[in-house]
Chain A
Amino acid sequence: MERFTLKDLGRYEEGVLESIDLPEHDARRFMELGFLPGSVVSAAGRSPFGDPRVYRVDGSEVALRRETAARLVLRRPGSAGRKDP
């Protein structure tokens, strides 16, 4: 199954969050912001400089830097292993 990170999510594309590759403490903060494994993340806007980008997740929009987005692992929607809440 194809895995990629949030950094490589194209504009207007969607992905399903698989895991957050960050220390427990930081990962929890992202979960509170809506980045729960299994949730659908899509790319919305971006800063005029291209970085950070704005992602839409669980009804709200959150901006992340490229380096942080590279720590969020996604799979394509509809691919195997889905466990959406």
Chain B
Amino acid sequence: MSQRHGATETASPSAIRPGDPSRLRTVAVVGPPNTGKSTLFNRLTGLRQRVANYPGVTVEKRIGRARLPGKIDVHLIDLPGIYSLEPRSEDERVARDVLTGRMPGVSGPDAVILILDSTNLGRHLGFAAPILSLGIPTLVVLNMADSLRSGGGSLDLDTVAQQIGAPVVLVSARTGEGTEAIREFLVGALAVPAPLELPVIQDVRRCREWSAQIGEAAEYRAPAPPLWTRRLDAVLLHPVAGLLIFAAVVVAVFQTVFSFAIPLMDATDAMVSTSGEWVRALLPDSWFRSLLIEGVWGGVGSVVIFLPQILLLFLFIGVLEDSGYMARAALIADRTMARVGLQGKSFIPLLSAYACAVPAILATRTIESKRDRIATIMIAPLMTCSARLPVYTLVIAAFIPERPVLGGFLGTRAATMLGLYALGFLAAILTAWALKSSVLRGAGAPFSLEIPPYRVPSLQSLALRLLDRATTFLRRAGTIILCTAIVLWFLASLPLRNGEAPPISESVIGTVGRTIEPVIEPLGFDWKIGIGLITSLAAREVIVGTLGTIYGMEADEGSRDLQGALRGDLDLGGAVALLIFFAFAMQCMSTVAVVRRETAGWRWPVAQFAYMTLLAYVSAYLANRIIGP
């Protein structure tokens, strides 16, 4: 069913000129939150999208290309989800500036696609007035056609189009129904009605009255209330069952990451080492083979095996977000978060921070209260992100013997891992409390949280999310980690002595490591761990690759296993100190960069880096002293 308006043809037949493939046109995609904007954006652009930042501000800019019939490309800009164009929040200011062409470096859009929720036309059409009054050719997309129909709702699209003076289409971004009409609009094939006088745009009340009139004229019948949502909420928000399910969800996330991911990781590991053996067998013995095997395979390979684990975690978070459960989780968590001065909306970024602090910090934008937002940003890197997993897994496997604890319910290794998660969480909570009762004291904007209806997540948008994550991770493995590995290999092979590589302790990198050794010696670390600490400033997991390279080169006959090598260099106190150091230290340049961007200055990221490093150093020192060799 592809419904679209096509009756009045008073205005020029096309809003935008078709043709000229050499000039890519830009179309802005706008709409309030929870209308399926991203799903539609993904459907229109597929994989042809990239993410950047607007200059000088913190708002993420997602640009995609829609390929239209006749090989015409259109640039689609996904604007942040906003309710109005009043420049109160940064999101709103960016949206307004992009739409009005005031954003430096971004030309004003040739057209706008406005996405609204057809199941709540009255309220959503009110959001259209400010956008329509900008005078840019606009297509109004009423999304959730499937929900509207299944709930018995209906409306007359032609009437809506005439009343608002813009073409209107009814689509379902989730199923793809009706989306071809959007492509027709983009090539200029859709009829456009005459523009009309619009109500005073900044008055919420008048916009709402205007939209109520249109709803009446178009004989809009709202769908029946989403019964399933009510039934599910009766269980999922139940005082007992709701809490149990909430706990079960959190446990399931960890269980997935720690148990179900293992076979996948083992498989990846086998693939990495098999391919490494092939390469070794193929090439003659030379410095180049050594660079490839010890540098590239040892460095990059030891990190790539964590990809399945990271993807599983993101899959889980994607399902929770797209289904609507995440909003309930925020609701449930609000009371507890309030105890440390935070709020329910902080829960979502903090849960995502278990995957990675960078998207988590971006997700804090939904928090209206600026102080709550900064506090959440400050503690997000203390949550145990997936980049720590390679380090934890390696050290735990090398030093903690596997014995059953708690009557065989948990092993010692899983218990250590859980302990480290708890440690990060506790540090985060205490830091939040300290911040919110001192520098970030005060309430700020009152808490409000929209509770969307439950929806079945779309496989396509989940797949796109995962693909996005996988590319980011592999790109990092292919760039930062690869470069570190190669540079490290050279630094570890120079200066040459009689044409031969020196013992690693006398190489350039060995000298650097031995220079900083006095600083880290109280923590129980030697110079090799020191090199790892330096390289892991780029990203935590780099230390695994670094140690892989160092030990690989140190060993006489190729492969000495990494765990065994570590046991030779660290005692138990040093190992625990290393785990604790990684739990607290902010070893991640991407996070520093994103915090600087999101807080618009160096003040917070510098304070955060100093605080976390100090916390890490002191705690690691104490752990080493208490546990001893």
A: residues with CB less than 8 A from B are 22, 25-26, 28-34, 36-37, 44-52, 54, 58-65, 67-68, 71, 85
B240 — nearest CB in chain A belongs to which residue?
A: A48
Q: Is residue B181 contacting chain A, with contact meaning CB distance below 8 A?
A: no
Q: How far is the CA of A71 from the CA of B443 in the complex (A)?
A: 15
Hey, which chain B residues are within 8 Å of A63, CB to CB?
331, 334, 344, 447-451
B: residues with CB less than 8 A from A are 83-84, 86, 88, 119-120, 122-123, 204-205, 208-209, 212, 222, 230, 233-234, 237-240, 242-243, 246, 331-332, 334-335, 338, 344, 368, 445-452
Hey, which chain A residues are within 8 Å of B242, CB to CB?
48
Hey, which chain A residues are within 8 Å of B212, CB to CB?
85
Least CB distance from B468 to A in Å reads 29
Question: B204–A48 contact, CB under 8 A?
Answer: no
Question: A47–B332 contact, CB under 8 A?
Answer: yes
Least CB distance from B342 to A in Å reads 13
Select A28's contact among B204, B239, B446, beta carbons within 8 Å.
Answer: B204
Select B446's contact among A22, A44, A49, beta carbons within 8 Å.
Answer: A22
Q: How far is the CA of A63 from the CA of B205 in the complex (A)?
A: 21
Q: How far is the CA of A30 from the CA of B448 in the complex (A)?
A: 8
Q: How far is the CA of A73 from the CA of B439 in the complex (A)?
A: 33
Hey, which chain B residues are within 8 Å of A29, CB to CB?
83, 368, 445, 448
Given contacts A51-B335, A52-B334, A85-B212, contact A32 B204 (CB under 8 A): yes
Question: A48–B123 contact, CB under 8 A?
Answer: no
Q: How far is the CA of A25 from the CA of B243 in the complex (A)?
A: 34
16 new A-B contacts, CB < 8 A, other than A54-B331, A61-B452, are: A28-B86, A28-B204, A44-B230, A45-B233, A45-B234, A48-B239, A49-B332, A51-B335, A52-B331, A59-B119, A62-B450, A63-B450, A64-B448, A65-B334, A65-B338, A85-B209
Q: How far is the CA of A44 from the CA of B451 in the complex (A)?
A: 11
Question: B120–A59 contact, CB under 8 A?
Answer: yes
- 12 A-B residue pairs with Cβ-Cβ distance under 8 Å, sorted by A, are A29-B445, A33-B83, A34-B123, A36-B204, A45-B451, A48-B243, A48-B332, A50-B239, A51-B335, A54-B233, A62-B450, A63-B451
Least CB distance from B370 to A in Å reads 12
Question: A71–B122 contact, CB under 8 A?
Answer: no
Least CB distance from A78 to B in Å reads 20
Hey, which chain A residues are within 8 Å of B338, CB to CB?
65
Q: How far is the CA of A26 from the CA of B368 in the complex (A)?
A: 10
Question: B446–A65 contact, CB under 8 A?
Answer: yes
Q: Which of A49, A50, A58 has the most CB of B within 10 A?
A: A49
Question: A85–B237 contact, CB under 8 A?
Answer: no
Hey, which chain A residues are within 8 Å of B119, CB to CB?
59
Least CB distance from B243 to A in Å reads 5
Select B237's contact among A22, A28, A48, A60, beta carbons within 8 Å.
Answer: A48
Question: B451–A68 contact, CB under 8 A?
Answer: no
Question: A52–B84 contact, CB under 8 A?
Answer: no
Least CB distance from B244 to A in Å reads 9
Hey, which chain B residues are within 8 Å of A25, CB to CB?
88, 445
B449 — nearest CB in chain A belongs to which residue?
A: A63
Question: B332–A62 contact, CB under 8 A?
Answer: no
Hey, which chain A residues are within 8 Å of B88, CB to CB?
25
Q: How far is the CA of A44 from the CA of B119 in the complex (A)?
A: 18
Hey, which chain A residues are within 8 Å of B123, CB to CB?
34, 58-60
Hey, which chain B residues are within 8 Å of A22, CB to CB?
446
B343 — nearest CB in chain A belongs to which residue?
A: A65
Select B451's contact among A32, A48, A62, beta carbons within 8 Å.
Answer: A62
Question: B204–A31 contact, CB under 8 A?
Answer: yes
Hey, which chain B residues are within 8 Å of A45, CB to CB?
233-234, 237, 451
Least CB distance from A9 to B in Å reads 16
Question: B334–A47 contact, CB under 8 A?
Answer: yes
Select B331's contact among A47, A68, A85, beta carbons within 8 Å.
Answer: A47
Given contacts A45-B233, A48-B243, A60-B123, contact A32 B84 (CB under 8 A): yes
Q: How far is the CA of A76 from the CA of B130 in the complex (A)?
A: 33
Q: How far is the CA of A65 from the CA of B535 in the complex (A)?
A: 46
Given contacts A32-B204, A52-B344, contact A71 B446 (CB under 8 A): yes
B202 — nearest CB in chain A belongs to which residue?
A: A28
Least CB distance from B37 to A in Å reads 16
Question: A26–B446 contact, CB under 8 A?
Answer: yes
Hey, which chain B residues are within 8 Å of A28, CB to CB?
86, 204
Hey, which chain B residues are within 8 Å of A68, CB to CB?
446-448
